[in-house]
Structure 1
């Protein structure tokens, strides 16, 4: 008897999971990332639209890479400056003692 109740609750749980996945999928398909741009169905997108999307992504990736390089170089310069200042301070401090 106890086994039947367990299986019924498991079946009910599986049915509820299927329902929630379907509703989440509908909500996801009907929304966009920023709410202003329209959703593009890539199955029906024209080659021109795909080329435009590709170009936009490449431009964004180049800008992100450039920003990463600039930040890395500035970070390394800051580390070198700090090490030089610390080295100069400690070398004078050690020579005086």
Structure 2
């Protein structure tokens, strides 16, 4: 499912226009991004938790040349599914 299909699904299930569903989805995504950017986490009970993880700096290898390269430390988004989501899949 891509973003357009998700917007169509939201519009149909909530009985709202596609434009309103698109704005709602963009607002949710923006809220999650903003909170993660500040270092917080977003918990949606029954669905899961979005959080920020830290990846330390490390040495890697260029697969083409085999030369060692330095990979910078980075913050990465992580998602931990909730129990209800896990149960729905099994």
TM-score computed with the length of structure 1 as normaliser: 0.27
From the two aligned structures, give the one with the greater helix fraction.
1
TM-score computed with the length of structure 2 as normaliser: 0.29
From the two aligned structures, give the one with the greater strand fraction.
2
